[in-house]
Chains A and B, each alone.
Chain A
Amino acid sequence: MDVIARAAFRLALQTFPARFRRAHGDEMCDAFARALGARTVAGRVAYTLHACADAVGQGWRERTRRGVPRGHGAEDTERGGRGPMLVGTMNDIRIAARSLRRAPGFTLAATIVLALGIGANTTVFSALERAVLAPSGYPAADRLVIVDHTWRRRDGGAPENFPWSWPKFRSFQEARPGAIAAAAGYASRSVTVTEPGTPTRESIELVTSGYFPVLGRNPVLGRAFTVSEDEPGITPIAVVSHGFWRSRLGGDPGAVGTSITLNGTRVEVVGVAPAGFSGLSGRAELWIPMAAAASFFSPVLLRGREAHWFRVVGRLSEGATLAEARDQVTALGRAIGEEVPPQDPEDVYGAGLRSFDDVRVNEDARAAVFLLAAAAGLVLLVACANLSGLLLARSRRLARDEAVRRAVGASRWRLVRASLVESFLLAGLGGLAGLGLSAWGVRAMAAAWPSQFTSSGGGELRVMDPSSLALDSRVLAFALLVTALTATLFGVVPALRASQADVAGRLREGSGATRPVRRALGLDGRAALVGAQVALALVLLVGAGLVGGSVLRLLDVDEGFDTRALLTFSYAIPATSASADDPNAFHAAFRDRVASLPGVTGVTSGCPPLEGYCWTTLVRAIEGAPEIPQGEGPQVAVNMVGDRTFATLGIPLLRGRELDERDGTDRVPAVVISRQAAESLFPGQDPLGRRIQLGVGADDKDDLAEIVGVVGDVLYRGPDEEILPQAYYSWRDYPERAVTMMVRTAGDPLASLPAIRAELGTMDRTLAIYGVSTMDQAMARSMGDRSVVLVLLALFAGVTLLLAATGTWGIVAYQIADRRRELGLRMALGAGRSSVLGMVLRQATRTAGLGLVVGLAGAWAGSQLLDTFLFQTRPTDPLAYGVAATLLLGVVLTASWLPARRATRVAPVEALRAD
């Protein structure tokens, strides 16, 4: 007991300054022990605690009162340097801060290098956090599941996840397995809201009654939908978003029970959703019972057994496991699939289950973010290698100081600690600057975040909101961690060096003795740092080169039309509108008005290129060709277009005529096909005048169309996706209420938008324009994930190249400065300048060559990660490797040559006399 008490007291005495302990420590311990001996057992415990607390308090007072002698810290080094850590460290921090202040150039360079490394990592981490790691925020989200309808062909293939149809979902709900507590259907659509306020196009979700309870997001005002509202034929009602309630309904609690007008139908508002909730689609402003879909959209939605159009979210029952639930759902899905034979006997329908958290992560985003995280990690490693070099070079300057400190008794640990403290202080500065850099980087990334990365599950599930990218507490914690890691990484080499300080050698070194030849010639630690930087930079350069090559090839793909100054937007005439009876008359009048606006050079309508195919179908029959068995014709994409579309879009007309006013008469509808369609459907024949059936009309007679022209191929999907044969019909033959307009302008396409909006308003004030885009924006979207990956990879590669260049330059310059005596001696003994230069460059080449070999291997391994981001480029593309390696070698040689040239310009005698 007394032994422990005495040890505790001795430990407490450590808070006193060393000098005080030297003078009084033993006597104090003795007095404590005697005082202790005079007490009872209980008294000893109390006395020990009391005395120890008292000693600690007094010790601190003593330190602060007297102040710690500044400068060399030798006072803490007696007794093996086990002085109180904290105070010694404070002292070290003061020393380090002073020494960094004295070398502002070095400090600035180091801070920049670190800021680049830490900033890159913090920025990418914020994306990683939001896109991959962040929780969904729904209550008990681990019990949320996505119930998939699945489809496959009878002859094999894995089942594909598929939307549900209303009849099949009803069957599912009736026999819902025990492991699924509740399930709800949801689908995203858009409607025009005309009242109250000015008309706008709003995203909505059609949902079943279980939707709000399953997600745990019940309305804050009013109510959610009831089970009885899942019955078709109900009077339409709506739950509105909190934002919609605030902006359109004035935030009035009495708004529940009032009505709004959607697509011309009056709808009663029954509830207000909680603030910030915008549905699984991430954009819903209104929710309408799915059973009311027929009133707004097509009656087919609730009738067609194979009208597959919505997804299902569910919640597991208490205690049910995902595996159990999956088995039950799969069994039920098989039963539902066999209830009614599918229209195509080769189709097999079923059901499957995925955990919500798995579906939530967009796979492309995950791949891109992990790739960028790896790249950012490499940047940080290069920054560390670079900084290690800087610190090593600097520590050579400070070597004599250190040796003196060792000689007067500073312990090895003391020097290592001082070196580490300096590293941490630098890292802290770099971390702060890096955070500033990433505050900007995160904003830039939020702006450039590809829309493909924001949703998953067929676009119906919003996985992240790019505007939520921010420097939050988790990102800050990460930055702190990276900073500490960085400090340890780059600080450890100089610290080890400090610990190996050879006192006598160092003191002698500066004063005339020749340095060992081995170190001067061999691949020492600094050469290894150069090699490491070269290797790491090569990995990033090759990656950037591969992705950059892909983007160049993508940009080089011919879109098949003129993408410049083309505005696209949509509007839809509600079924209840007076204009709905003859939508073509309305569209034609509107087109004329838009065409007469100043700055507009052409107007047409149809599905715009680059935004995906409108719809695809199978060729049913070709007149004069062998009969095509049902469902086996080639796939064709179909587009219903306005007059003179090809001229307006700049699609070359290869044969025949445009679609225009000549169409829409009683005769057989006209169709224009693409070059690819002509080649695949009519190989070696003249397609003009031939008649085909593409399953476009309501019946076979209606379906027959005569080919009147052939046009060039156009990219409707991304440049890396397959181009389908295309057929264009005239809007005059197939009227539609909803259209997408394409307007060619003389100047900025968006500048015409207000005038266009005004024209539509004067014609029908209940219509809203939506989906406004320009072809330039569409082009950027079709590049999507690649462009973000490319920009960041290129940025990272550029930074590492710069770091590798400056790092090499710095290290070689110091190496040469170290060897000035040797070089001077060589030259004094008759070596020519060029031979000395050659020797330096040979060594640099050897170092860089080693780095290149390692880097090429690393790049080859890393390039496999890139595969999904490449287009017509193999991960082993020799051009990318060759260019990167040559560039790096050039940079290293230049960085070596410059300081070497300077050294050889010094007169030999001067060099010998130096120091």
Chain B
Amino acid sequence: MTHPSRRQTPDPTSLLPLSPPVYHVLLACGDKALHGYAMMQTFEQLTGGAEQLLPGTLYATLARMVESGLLEEVPPPSADADARRRYYRVTSFGRAVAAAETDRLALLVDVARARRLAAERGR
């Protein structure tokens, strides 16, 4: 008797370290379903304008993230939404990857602080 092959959930740490745009998209989306332009806006607001996502990078990244299972495309939340826009939501795998990357970065930030490599503000 044969079993249908079960799709295995990949190890979240296998994608680390994430490229900055991927991590930025994960941060921008949070748990909401957003379209590309909304992600650009959100991310800029969250970082106080210090960081921005440019459309070329953003959409190329989105396509890659969908392929690798970090994001999934979802139907527009309401009927009056712009038909051209595609909406994306972070998958549970995406969340796991984001958490793993955050842990990795937090560890590095701790090390940096211990070594007095962080800027004044962090102390």
Interface residues of A (CB under 8 A from B): 9, 12-13, 16, 20, 23-24, 26-28, 30-32, 34-35, 50-51, 54-59, 61-62, 65
Contacts and interface: CB of A to CB of B under 8 A. Distances in A.
Contacts, number: 62
Contacts of B64: 65
Contact of A35 (B37, B62, B85, B86): B37
A54 B56 contact: yes
Interface string B64-103: 1000000000000000001011100000000000000000
B37 A54 contact: no
Contacts of B57: 54, 58
Contacts of A35: 37, 40, 55
Contacts of B63: 20, 23-24, 62
6 contacts: A27-B35, A30-B85, A31-B58, A54-B57, A58-B60, A65-B64
- Leading 4 A-B pairs by shortest Cβ distance: A55-B56, A31-B37, A58-B56, A54-B54
Contacts of A34: 37
Contact of A62 (B40, B60, B84): B60
A61 to B, nearest CB: 7
Nearest to B39: A31
A35 B54 CA distance: 9
Contacts of B40: 31, 35
Nearest to A35: B40
Given A20-B63, A23-B63, A30 B37 contact: yes
Contacts of A30: 37, 82, 84-85
Contact of A57 (B55, B56, B84, B86): B56
Nearest to A38: B41
B8 to A, nearest CB: 24
A34 B53 CA distance: 13
A59 B60 CA distance: 8
B55 to A, nearest CB: 5
Given A30-B82, A30-B84, 5 more contacts: A31-B40, A31-B59, A32-B55, A34-B37, A58-B57
B25 to A, nearest CB: 13
A55 B84 contact: no
A62 B63 CA distance: 10
Contacts of A58: 56-57, 59-60
Contacts of A31: 36-37, 40, 55, 58-59
A65 B68 CA distance: 14
Contact of B54 (A23, A51, A65): A51
- Interface-central residue, A13, A26, A58, A65, by most chain B CB under 10 Å: A58
A31 B63 CA distance: 16
Nearest to A24: B59
B60 A51 contact: no
A34 B84 CA distance: 14
A35 B36 CA distance: 11
B56 A51 contact: yes
A31 B62 CA distance: 14
B58 to A, nearest CB: 7
A62 B59 CA distance: 10
B92 to A, nearest CB: 25
A12 B37 contact: no
A24 B37 CA distance: 12
- Interface-central residue, A13, A50, A54, A59, by most chain B CB under 10 Å: A54
B111 to A, nearest CB: 31
A59 B63 CA distance: 12
Given A27-B84, A30-B84, A62-B60, A55 B37 contact: no
- Interface-central residue, A27, A61, A62, by most chain B CB under 10 Å: A27
A608 to B, nearest CB: 83
A27 B56 contact: no
Contacts of A13: 56
B84 A51 contact: no
B60 A27 contact: no
Contacts of A56: 56
Nearest to A20: B63
A34 B57 CA distance: 16
Nearest to A62: B60
B67 to A, nearest CB: 10
Contact of B59 (A27, A50, A57, A61): A27
Nearest to A9: B55
Contacts of B62: 24
A167 to B, nearest CB: 85
Contact of A55 (B36, B55, B82): B55
B28 to A, nearest CB: 13
A24 B35 CA distance: 11
A886 B86 CA distance: 77
B84 to A, nearest CB: 5
B64 to A, nearest CB: 8
A30 B84 CA distance: 9
A28 B36 contact: yes
Contacts of B54: 50-51, 54-55
B86 A28 contact: no
A209 to B, nearest CB: 73
Contacts of A57: 56
- Interface-central residue, A31, A32, A35, A57, by most chain B CB under 10 Å: A31
A492 B57 CA distance: 41
Nearest to B56: A55
A23 B40 CA distance: 18
Nearest to B64: A65
Contacts of A32: 55
Contacts of B59: 24, 27-28, 31, 58
Contacts of A12: 56
Contacts of A16: 60
A50 B53 CA distance: 11
A24 B73 CA distance: 13
B89 to A, nearest CB: 16
Interface string B33-61: 00111001000000000000011111110
A228 to B, nearest CB: 79
A31 B55 CA distance: 7
Given A27-B84, A27-B85, A59 B56 contact: yes
Contacts of B35: 27
A34 to B, nearest CB: 5
A58 B61 CA distance: 9
B18 to A, nearest CB: 16
B118 to A, nearest CB: 28
Contacts of B84: 26-27, 30
Nearest to A59: B56
B75 to A, nearest CB: 15
